[in-house]
Amino acid sequence: MCATLIDQWIRDGVVTAMIAPGSRSTPMALAIADRPELRIEVFHDERSAAFAALGVGLASGVPAVALCTSGTAATHFHAAVVEADLSDVPMLLVTADRPPELRDVGAPQTIDQTKLFGSAVRWFHDPGVAAFEAAHTWRAVARRAFEAAAGMGAGPVHLNLPFREPLVARPGELPPPYLGPVIADVTMVRLGTLAMELDRERGIIVAGRGVDDPAAVAALAAATGWPVLADPRSNCRGLGGTVSCFDAMLRHEGFAAAHLPEVVIHLGEPPASKVLALWLGDAGGTQVRVSAATGVIDPAHAITHTIGAPVGAFCRRLADELSRGRGSDWSSQWLNAQQQVIEAWSVAGGSSPPLTEPGVARAVSLFDGVAVVASSMPIRDVEWFGAPDQRARVLSNRGANGIDGTIATAIGVATAVARPVVVLLGDVALLHDQSSLAALGRRAVDVRIIVVDNDGGGIFSFLAQAESLASDRFEQLFGTPHGTDICALAAAHGLPAASTSSSIELESWLRRPGPWLVRVPSSRDGNVAVHRRLNELAVGSISPGRRA
């Protein structure tokens, strides 16, 4: 059975397998190792293996196989499964299990693995112990798993495979292949009367992760005269006509009130900005969510229309419907305000600005490769202060917004793309995933790690708790300083490491192939002051009637 599953998945396009060592999973591990077409990555712990598989799916759209043995090993897949579910990332999770006669009798390393991940998977299946009389079903099981993982509404799939001893054997003849290629979704976007409702002057396009055709978004913006508020994960920044400083701009009460839209087109996942989310939640009007994913994203209960379709196809169809001459300067008002903000920040920074957390985010956004950015403050800083002409392809685990598994995700990304990968994360996120440093140190992958080290949970310093609680209580429960020597931790895993407070030195490191780790020291209170100052400069720079 194992050899057949792997053979079918290879035929369907799978190229990567992440293996966490174990005994009960031996039959599947050997089936994987026997196929030279697969790239095999072995991880000491299951959590790293699962997040690495997540990284492959996140970067490529093709599921990787994540394999582990039975018992608590399987439970360590769960965090990555939750993220894959909420972010619609394809994964093929294979957990080995004891056979039925060893369950519920106190056998070692045995837990109830039936539907272990609950509703977080697109499909769960336990075919039972393999029997030759069921061989004709194995390819169909493999195909259904692949289609459930990689089709419309992609996500994780869990196969639980019980094995009896002996666990080492030679596979017999495989069932003949009879399944044709997977047919890609060909959903047609039919707009009908909706296009008439969307034909308004004051519209905005909010582009997030899930945009499959940035040129189609640019075509819609050109046809409608609407600005594109571009999340760094959308691949739309730098297209021309995109707004990246929207968080800072909408803090200007006059500008925000004067630019309420009549129509909002939400493409894919929402940006991280709470300022934008609150503004859109109060905007009213017609709000359309377009996504190829199946989940609901409407925390403000403001979406009036939901369209399940590829984003690019929708944008091109709507551009065709609404393409006509527009004399309005609606979009230029947004771009003019953004230019004022950019100029104010540039003047305040001077020719040699100190290296701040927003400055690190800007440098990462200009990286010529892939940037895997941790949730919490790093992805917010890249969103708010990243360069408008962003060069990096930005990826982040924003489905559940967790900070765990960031380095492992980057290792998976690096196995799936032929480009260098930089990781931007905080010190707490690093400590959450420090076991992945061992996985990185022994691999020939170009992963470059930048750790912003403010000795604790920096994002909490932006919350009301920081002002309402006594400082010692805040530090105990939220600041949580740890005192870890980040560079020594990296060196212990064989990674070159250094600390820097220089923008020039950081840029020099970014040009060096990885793996390596660079620590950028920061102060939590100082970082709050930097953000406050940048936002004050932005608000003070905007004069809606003045051209930049």
What burial class does residue 296 get, using C-beta atoms within 10 Å of its C-beta: 0-12 exposed, 13-18 middle, 19+ buried? Answer: exposed
Q: How many residues are present in the chain?
A: 548
> Within the chain, which residue ranges are assigned CATH 3.40.50.970?
2-162, 352-540
Mean of pLDDT values over 506-527: 96
Stated as kind and residue range, the H or E segment containing 109 is none
205 forms beta bridges with 228, 265
- Please, are residues 202 and 261 in contact by the beta-carbon 8 Å criterion? yes
Ordered alpha helix ranges (H), 323-446: 330-349, 357-365, 377-385, 406-416, 427-432, 435-441
- Cα 4 from Cα 177, distance rounded (Å): 9
- Please, are residues 311 and 268 in contact by the beta-carbon 8 Å criterion? yes
Percentage of the chain lying above the pLDDT 90 cut? 75
pLDDT, tens only, 290-349:
998 877 889 888 898 888 889 999 999 999 888 755 557 999 999 999 999 999 998 877
Mean of pLDDT values over 467-471: 89
CATH of the structural domain 2-162, one choice from 3.40.50.2000, 3.40.50.2300, 3.40.50.970, 3.40.718.10 = 3.40.50.970
- Please determine, for residue 430, whether its predicted confidence score (pLDDT) is greater than 90: yes
Q: Which residue has the higher pLDDT, 190 or 497?
A: 497
Q: What is the pLDDT of residue 322?
A: 84
Query: Cα–Cα–Cα angle for 518, 522, 525, nearest 5°?
Result: 160
Q: Which residue has the higher pLDDT, 9 or 140?
A: 9
Closest CA relative to residue 10, chosen from 36, 49, 48, 47: 36
Mean of pLDDT values over 485-505: 95
Q: What is the pLDDT of residue 159?
A: 98
The CATH superfamily of 352-540 is Thiamin diphosphate (ThDP)-binding fold, Pyr/PP domains (3.40.50.970)
> Within the chain, which residue ranges are assigned CATH 3.40.50.1220?
194-338
- Please determine, for residue 548, whether its predicted confidence score (pLDDT) is greater than 80: no
- Please, are residues 458 and 451 in contact by the beta-carbon 8 Å criterion? no
pLDDT-derived band of residue 230, with 50, 70 and 90 as boundaries?
Answer: very high
Q: At what angle do helices 357-365 and 377-385 cross, to 10 degrees?
A: 70
pLDDT-derived band of residue 36, with 50, 70 and 90 as boundaries?
Answer: very high
Structure tokens at 254: 């006059």
Structure tokens at 455: 């000795």
Q: What is the pLDDT of residue 491?
A: 95
Structure tokens at 351: 């020719």
Q: Domain 194-338: which topology?
A: Rossmann fold (3.40.50)
